[in-house]
Amino acid sequence: MLKNTASTYGWVAIALHWLMAVAIFGMFGLGVWMVELTYYDAWYHRAPELHKSIGMLLLILLVLRLLWRLWNVRPQLMGLWWEKIVALGVHRLHYLLMFTVIITGYLIPTAEGTGIDVFGWFTIPATFSFDKQQADLIGKVHWLSAWGLMGLALLHSSAALKHHLIDKDVTLTRMLGLPRKTAKGENL
């Protein structure tokens, strides 16, 4: 099924979750690598172009994901009461950090008034301009939120593995779209 139910994620939420997770990890690696390139590297111009284009597609996916999330029921979280509160907080923080990293990413190259050309398909126009000091601050927030997102994703995936290996519940398998039985044999 496409939509979520009270007990599991639908295919749209699953596809958006994993597509975006892979893209975000890739974007992090690309970002760390590209800022070290020098003018004489073949990828000096191409890597930032790629980073910006994928980033803008991620923004579109993120908006669609948030709307889908708000329009759907949220499958019941598993674990102890405090684990559920932490999980919900972590999920929300993920959204906040994803928006922060993408919006600051958009503001870095557009600060001087140039729009972002997305793979030559369309251009996202610049909206705000900033002086050098403000642009530096935006760059710092981009860096911080990118690292924050990686740290949170590490915590989040460790929790998913803990649910799977220790609690033996369906938290991970239902996000993978796998058979609807828990490791204890209970039906989902």
* Interface contacts to ligand HEM, rule CB under 6 A: 13, 17, 21, 24, 27-28, 31-32, 35, 48, 51-52, 55-56, 58, 69, 75, 77, 87, 91, 94-95, 98, 101-102, 105-106, 108-109, 116, 139, 142-143, 146, 149, 153, 156-157, 160, 171-172, 175
Residue (142 or 182) nearer to ligand HEM, CB = 142
- Nearest approach in angstroms of CB 73 to ligand HEM is 12
68 vs 122: CA distance, rounded Å: 24
Coil vs helix vs strand at 123:
strand
Report residue 52 as tokens: 């910006």
Residue 131: C-alpha distances to residues 103, 124, 139 (Å) = 17, 21, 12
- Nearest approach in angstroms of CB 98 to ligand HEM is 6
* Phi-psi category of residue 79: left, alpha or beta, with phi > 0 → left and psi -120 to 50 → alpha: left
Residue (21 or 188) nearer to ligand HEM, CB = 21
Residue (50 or 184) nearer to ligand HEM, CB = 50
Residue (23 or 42) nearer to ligand HEM, CB = 23
183 vs 167: CA distance, rounded Å: 9
- Nearest approach in angstroms of CB 185 to ligand HEM is 20
Phi, psi at 81, each rounded to 5°: -55, -40
The single-letter DSSP state of residue 117 is E
164 vs 154: CA distance, rounded Å: 15
- Nearest approach in angstroms of CB 10 to ligand HEM is 11
- Nearest approach in angstroms of CB 168 to ligand HEM is 14
130 vs 134: CA distance, rounded Å: 6
